[in-house]
Amino acid sequence: MSKIDILSIRKQFPILHQKVNGKPLVYFDNAATAQKPLSVIVALNTYYTRDNANIHRAAHTLAARSTEMFEDTRKTIQAFINAREVEECIFTKGVTESINLVAQTWGRKFLQAGDEVIITSMEHHSNIVPWQMICEEKGTILKIIPINDAGELLMDEYEKLLSPKTKMVACVWVSNALGTINPVKEIIEKAHAVGAKVLLDGAQACSHLDVDVQVLDCDFLAISSHKLYGPTGVGVLYGKRELLEAMPPYQGGGEMIKEVSFERTTYNDIPYKFEAGTPNIADVIAFKYALDFVNELGKENIRNHENELLHYLVNGLLTLNETNVMSSGVETHKQIKLIGTAKEKVSVQSFIIEGMHHFDVGMMLDARGIAVRTGHHCTQPLMNCLGLDGTVRASFSVYNTKEEIDVLVEAVKSIIKRK
């Protein structure tokens, strides 16, 4: 049993208490973005009504206050992922920018023609396209780890792909389309054994799983605030100090310099070397409140609650299939097929309904106030591997309830009736 006080949690999310299309909102699109607790919303408001000033540069009180709060978030994220040093945490716009930063700086400096980068079949486009871009520029070869029908990586195939030519393994920790938790510790150990670096896309993992970059020993980890109950437009790139120091800057401008003359510029130390220009100060500051929210609840409690929801949904959907067949002896309803049935999963469930387009299903659910995601989930190559053009995806957060899942299952039941 989970130790979550669901009523008090839901009270902290004002957006949940509304009607959509005349029905109470059921928000099951959390893998796309999580809703924000009041503490985050209030922090944004407070910052702009009381503290707004540009950071790091001025002597005045508001600037000092803003700087302190901004750097406080950096300390909080350092503790959240157990980075050895606070300077190893760089603020970005999100996971997409974090990965582009590594591809464009580390990749440009360290990849050569004939080198190999390995990714998986279940990557989000943001962990495919940046590598394709740099591989094309450098003559580096991109290799892909295949998956089985359940949506699990074929680790034997991964081992076959590894060689001294492998320079980077860039891998999604948790699949946004399938919910699969990849065995990243093993992936990292095997990559390091051939001298390769590892970047983890932590977009989906960080809100559900315990994160300890020192135990994992990953070289880079990309994190997104908006998947973690924080504001959009903020992310973090964690990188090991020696790697970040060896990498050239990403963008040039203010803040990332030590000294500039027309002849020559010297660069700032990490993390500022990678933070050119005025950052997203307010949202970074509010992100701390999202991390506090997660810390106060505890990842284990969150995970237990979400896993209960996942199993409840899976049982509900599978029971619809069974009762359809059993009640009449023949199949009288459209069947539901679950997509993503890995043994190790987070609370994300994709499915399709035979003979129906996922978009139509999404529209019918929306008419009942239920928000799910439909489409390829920015994983077109994965959809191609699965022979699909898209799925319906329900993804749960800590504020979701079994009663909401009942609403979804009832809605699916009425949709699958054969006409």
Catalytic residue IDs: 378
Identify whether the C-beta of residue 320 lies closer than 8 Å to the C-beta of residue 416.
Answer: yes
Q: Does the protein bind ligand PLP through residue 184 (CB under 6 A)?
A: no
Nearer to ligand PLP, 111 or 223 (CB): 223
* CA–CA distances in Å: residue 400 to residues 205, 374, 396: 18, 19, 6
Identify the DSSP state of 146.
-
66 makes contact with ligand PLP (CB under 6 A): no
DSSP letters, 57-105, are S--SHHHHHHHHHHHHHHHHHHHHHT-S-GGGEEEESSHHHHHHHHHHH
Q: How far is the CB of 114 from ligand PLP (least distance, A)?
A: 28
Binding residues for ligand PLP, total number by CB under 6 A: 13
Side chain identity at 271, as an amino acid letter? P
CB of 204 to ligand PLP, least distance (A): 5
Candidate segments 197-205, 288-296, 312-320, 338-346, binder of ligand PLP by CB under 6 A: 197-205
Give the shortest CB-101-to-ligand PLP separation in angstroms: 12
**Taking the mean position of all CA atoms in its chain, how far away is CA 72?**
22
| Residue (of 19, 58, 134, 106) closest to 371 by Cα position | 19
Taking the complex as a whole, the smallest distance from the CB of residue 94 to ligand PLP amounts, in Å, to 3
Q: Taking Cα atoms as reference points, which of 240, 245, 247, 243 lies closest to residue 213?
A: 240
Q: Is 180 in the site for ligand PLP (CB under 6 A)?
A: no
d(CA 42, CA 50): 12
Q: Which of 88, 152, 201, 306 binds ligand PLP (CB under 6 A)?
A: 201
Under the binding rule (CB under 6 A), the answer on residue 306 touching ligand PLP is: no
Half-sphere exposure of 264 (CA within 13 A, CB side): 1
Provide, rounded to whole angstroms, the least separation between the CB of residue 195 and ligand PLP.
Answer: 26
User: Strand 391-395 to strand 373-375: parallel, antiparallel, or no bridges (unpaired)?
Assistant: antiparallel
The two tokens of residue 207 are 């809100």
76 versus 92: smaller Cβ distance to ligand PLP = 92
Least separation in angstroms between residue 8's CB and ligand PLP is 28
**Separation CA 376–CA 385 (nearest Å):** 12
Opening angle at CA 241, ends 235 and 246, nearest 5: 100
Q: Is 78 in the site for ligand PLP (CB under 6 A)?
A: no
- The vertex-322 CA angle with 181 and 398, nearest 5°, equals 35
Q: Which is it for strands 265-267 and 348-353: parallel, antiparallel or unpaired?
A: unpaired
Cα dist. 223→97, 131, 163, 244 in Å? 10, 18, 28, 16
- Work out whether 230 is an interface residue with ligand PLP (CB under 6 A): no
Q: Could you give the CA distance from residue 219 to residue 217 in angstroms, rounded to a whole number?
A: 6
Nearest to ligand PLP of 126, 397 (CB atom): 126
Stretch that binds ligand PLP, among 62-70, 201-209, 292-300, 343-351 (CB under 6 A): 201-209
3-class secondary structure for 262-327?
CCCEEECCCCHHHCCCCCCHHHHHHHHHHHHHHHHHCHHHHHHHHHHHHHHHHHHHHHHHHHHHHH
Q: Which is closer to ligand PLP, CB of 24 or CB of 381?
A: 381
Q: Which residues pair with 394 in a beta bridge?
A: 349
Within positions 204 to 223, which residues make up the interface with ligand PLP, using CB under 6 A? Answer: 204
Minimum distance, C-beta of residue 198 to ligand PLP, in the bound complex (Å): 15
Under rule CB under 6 A, which residues in 24-53 are in contact with ligand PLP?
A: 32
* Pick 4 or 177: Cβ nearer ligand PLP: 177
The only residue of 128, 162, 203, 221 in contact with ligand PLP, by rule CB under 6 A: 203
Is 358 near ligand PLP (CB under 6 A)?
Answer: no
Nearest distance, CB of residue 345 and ligand PLP, angstroms: 14
- Our CB check for ligand PLP shows the closer of 203 and 310 to be 203
Which residue's CB atom is positioned nearest to ligand PLP? 94
Residue 395 in the binding site for ligand PLP (CB under 6 A): no
Residue located via tokens 């716009």: 93
* Nearest residue (CB) to ligand PLP, 303 versus 368: 303
- Residue nearer to ligand PLP on the CB measure, 29 or 88: 29
- Between residue 87 and residue 116, which ones bind ligand PLP under the rule CB under 6 A? 94-96
Interaction between residue 124 and ligand PLP (CB under 6 A): yes
Residues that bind ligand PLP (CB under 6 A): 32, 94-96, 124, 126, 172, 176, 201, 203-204, 224, 235
